[in-house]
Amino acid sequence: MYMKDVIKLYKQPRPKNCSMLASWPGIGDVSLTAAKYLVEKLNAAEIGEIEPVSFFEPMGVTVRDNVVDSPRFPESKFYYWQSAKAEQSLVIFIGEEQPGFKGYDLVNRVLDVAQRFKVARVYSCAAAVTRIHHSEEMKVWGAATTSKLVDELSKHNVVLRGNLRIAGLNGLILGMAKERGMEGICLLGEVPAYATQIANPRASLAVLGILTEMLGITLDLTDLDNLAKQVDEEMDRIAKRVTAEFIDQFTEPIWEQDEEEEE
């Protein structure tokens, strides 16, 4: 597959001091939530996409009011933002889905675009599943392609755990960027081990706080913070309900014990 066959670029910006954030779905939607929020708040312009036919095969269709829709492929799109004085720029790639078998090829195409725009550093985000309660402060872990970048991470209140594995394309892209001689950093937001199937905007908020600091971008995080509070409240309600159900199912009422003793 050649780049020209699978990549469509509607615009050809000539960025200066350019970085890239690449994002695919993952645990807690940490990466996608952060990337989509950046696109929205920076008002980043859509500049291209990767043709999905070479990487995905639809496995079903949607039915609306009993009428079947046409097969839909996952989207893989590029967005672009530059500062008011054009002194820095950011390419944001958002993949709606991770392919089942051609992830390596897809990541190569993303990095082809990164190199075309002379991206100096590739960022990705992921989840760090840990024994933390959802009400606690979510810390951010970090990993990088060089020891020099690890030293830079240590200046941004990032937890350096030493040895870990970053699953999926949000991790793979760093290794492939390193193969190309490109700098790469992954920021991982802590997610409670008992809530991996729930979107966690609190983790995305923590990651964005570090990412924007590293990029030197000013971003209003108020809306994401409000969303995180709503999810926290919902998780509190779920926790209380589950606790009540556990008590009802596995504990014996005291009054029944008293009756047995009286008999």
CATH of the domain at 215: 3.40.50.10900
From CA 40, how far away is CA 45, in angstroms rounded? 9
Domains contained in the chain, number: 1
Task: Tell whether 138 is covered by a domain.
Answer: yes
State which residues form the domain around 126: 3-220
Residue 242 is assigned to a structural domain of this protein: no
Q: Residue 244: inside a domain, yes or no?
A: no
Instruction: Please check whether residue 12 lies inside any domain of the structure.
Output: yes
In-domain check, residue 236: no
Instruction: Tell me whether residue 87 is in a domain.
Output: yes
pLDDT per position in the chain (263 positions), as tens?
445 579 999 988 888 889 999 999 999 999 999 999 999 999 999 999 999 998 998 888 889 999 999 888 999 999 999 987 768 899 999 999 999 889 999 999 999 999 999 999 999 999 999 888 887 788 999 999 999 999 999 999 899 988 889 999 999 999 999 999 999 999 999 998 888 888 999 999 999 999 999 999 999 999 999 999 998 888 777 766 656 555 566 666 655 544 444 44
Number of Cβ atoms within 10 Å of the Cβ of 79: 22
The verdict on residue 177 lying in a domain is: yes
- Residue 144 in domain: yes
Strand-pair category, 67-68 with 76-82: unpaired
Give residue 199's Cα distance to chain centre. 10
Q: Kindly report the pTM of this predicted structure.
A: 0.86
